[in-house]
Amino acid sequence: MSSVSELYQSVILDHNRTPRNYGRLEGDARRARGYNPLCGDECTVWLKVEGDLVADVKFEGQGCAISKASASLMTMAVKGRPVAEASALAERFHDLVTGKLDAAAQQTLPARLQVFGNVAQFPVRVKCASMPWHTLKAALAGGDAPELVELK
């Protein structure tokens, strides 16, 4: 097993202490709520789509360092991207944290997301990292109405 210091790298600790894009979007932003019934952690993602682009994204939630940093880095990674790219990135992130990407494939991801590759060594923490992305996917797929994602 990889050591905990590899899991809790400085970028994760930084985004846990000072999450970026934390808060809500007003107006006609889409909203989706993610909830992990196993641990009670939750994450709400607000999303503003203009044309094909993720114009803005914010989140709020209660969770561990992994989930909070994941949500924070996710918002930075998808903001300004085309919706299709954001969706594809969500799939790739899931592959990353479930250990399906080899080293070369990991290198093709945005640099700041690559630190989550170590999560694959901590199976019980995979859902912590993936929950914000599941919530984002729900927000991307949804219309204006709030959606609930109950993670299995």
Site residues (vs another protein, CB under 8 A): 1, 3-5, 7-8, 13, 16-17, 38-42, 62-66, 122, 125, 128
Nearest-approach distance from CB 22 to another protein, in angstroms: 16
Q: Rounded CA gap, 130 and 67, in Å?
A: 8
Q: Is 121 helix (H, G, I), strand (E, B) or coil?
A: helix
Nearer CB in complex with another protein: 22/122: 122
Nearest-approach distance from CB 72 to another protein, in angstroms: 14
Nearer CB in complex with another protein: 4/84: 4
Place of tokens 């709400």: 44
Nearest to 12 by CA among 88, 71, 60: 71
Q: Rounded CA gap, 144 and 130, in Å?
A: 23
Nearer CB in complex with another protein: 71/128: 128
Q: How far apart are the first and last CA of the chain?
A: 25
Nearest-approach distance from CB 65 to another protein, in angstroms: 5
Nearest-approach distance from CB 126 to another protein, in angstroms: 12
Name beta bridge partners: 57. 47
Nearer CB in complex with another protein: 21/36: 36
Place of tokens 């789509």: 49
